[in-house]
Structure 1
Amino acid sequence: MDIRVGDVLELKKEHPCGSARWQVLRVGMDFRLRCTGCGHELMLPRSKAEKSVKKIIRTEGAQE
């Protein structure tokens, strides 16, 4: 799965704040994500993050 820093991921489950979109801050073995609704940050293992992705929203400023 091609996920880059700066992308916004729409996940299958919503965050308790009501938002299902997360901005990618770091990629590697773990993903660092920030909730676009409340700003909460978390680290997820790559395998778990890739399973829960519903849609990738590519931003123009995303790094390659």
Structure 2
Amino acid sequence: MVLKLLEGDIVELKKPHPCGSNRWQILRLGADCRLKCLGCNHQVWLERVKLEKAIKKFIERGAE
């Protein structure tokens, strides 16, 4: 099953970022997704499959 992800979603991941935050904003979607840490503004690219497995919960949904 594929999660319905939207650009602008704010998600909580299972593992925290080294800065201590585990909240991320989804900036770009595709086969690879770009995420921005809301603690330190660091941006990373993550494969969509790995992102879907790493999401713990949705904090805020982006606009459709």
* Alignment TM-score > 0.5, same fold: yes
Which residue of structure 2 lines up, in the alignment, with residue 63 of structure 1? Answer: 63
Structure 2 gap segments, 5+ residues each: none
Corresponding letter in the other structure for 2:20: G
Runs of 4+ in 1 over 6 A off after TM superposition: none
Correspondence list, 1:46-61, <5 A: 46-59=48-61
Tell me the number of residue pairs that the alignment of Structure 1 and Structure 2 aligns.
62
Q: So what's the TM-score if we normalise by structure 1?
A: 0.90
Structure 1 portions without partners, runs of 5+: none
TM-score normalized by the length of structure 2: 0.90
Residue 15 of structure 1: aligned partner? 17
SS at structure 2 position matched to 1:50: helix
Pairwise CA RMSD: 0.9
